Amino acid sequence: MTDRNAATPHPHAPVPNLYAEAEARTDEMVADIGDLVRVESPTADVAAVRRCAQKVAELGARLTGSDPEWLEAGGRPHLRWRFGAGDRVLLLGHFDTVWPVGALATHPFAVTGGRMTGPGCFDMKAGLVQIFHALALLDDLDGVSVLATSDEETGSRTSRALVEAEARRVSSALVLEASERGALKTARKGVSTYDLRIVGKAAHAGLEPHRGVNATVELAHQVQAVAALADPAAGTSVTPTVASSGTTRNTVPDEAVLLVDVRAVTSAEQDRVDAALRALCPALPGARLEVTGGPDRPPLQEESSAGLFALASRLNEELGLGPLRGVAVGGGSDGNLTAGAGTPTLDGLGAVGGGAHADHEHVIVAELPRRTALLAALVRDLTTSKGEPE
């Protein structure tokens, strides 16, 4: 007899053995990550990046049975897989790293005590491997799109249009950026970058300094003015970073340059700072300011990720993997771009570990199958329902 008061099971709940199947793939995933890490791929070295793209293409083809499209943009390779219409969910990652060719000599790939190390393992070659192993767990990939790019670490200059266009085709975006201590990225600040050029007038520092317009002195004024635009209460940071001026000890400098990094929770704050920076005025008579740059990545706000995070939390519990944590962070990713395109986005689904861009970069091996099973469950739910988070 049917109990009408019993909870109705979700029609697309993950199969009970999904985590077990992912766990059985752990050794293979470790080997595949090692293969990718050993193909070094610093963003600026296009030849190296192209070699890594070939390795990613081979990995994806082996695990999904489909070859990718090679998308050339700005002389760089990017890879895309579309299964069926590829219009339900986008899985997004990048295979470029910040590590120079030769880093393997001092940071070799290794697994010791359950920790994987090697340049780029955490950010984010493990995430790419997780994508394809998650897809290998599923019987039906219709509606899935995968985009792997080669210039995320330097701002996605050539891949941005590809990311945004692909995001607009789908109902949800899942970003495989790595996760510090396991927390998913439910919000990211927007990122703006600026170059402030100060033009002064050169003069001999000993004979007639009064005839010059000292760009270094003007720089000091502008550093203070720029820093004052921050609003910590609103979560907005405005940080003068790199500064340079002058040519010789005995010359009044006629030019200075200040680089500025801005992070903001809302687009309105990005716009406020943008307007304020462009309205800066010189403090010294005769000095001139030139401001270039602007908002680069829009914020990923919590309302964009809320539905997907709730779905991921439920699926993780159903898989027997416990509760998930979400965190808002200041760093940007391509998840900012998918959210800015209006697509619900959940970020930080990649490797669990730490030390991105640092000597202690590492991945916790035991977490690989957990995140892979969760990703597979998310993809299955989002492609077999209406393609939208609840």
User: 3-class SS at 137?
Assistant: coil
Residue 96 annotated among the catalytic residues of the structure? yes
Residue 152 annotated among the catalytic residues of the structure? yes
Taking the alpha carbons at both ends of the chain, their separation in whole angstroms is 30
User: 3-class SS at 12?
Assistant: coil
Q: Nearest-CA neighbor of 150 among 139, 162, 166?
A: 162
Which candidate in 32, 96, 123, 274 is catalytic?
96
Report H helices in the chain: 18-23, 26-37, 46-64, 126-136, 160-169, 215-227, 267-278, 302-318, 334-340, 367-384
Q: What is d(CA 382, CA 282) in angstroms, rounded to the nearest whole number?
A: 54
Phi–psi pair at 211, nearest 5 degrees: -85, -10
Which candidate in 123, 152, 296, 381 is catalytic?
152
Find out whether 53 and 46 touch, Cβ atoms under 8 Å: no
Cis peptide before 29 (omega within 30 of 0): no
Catalytic residues: 96, 152
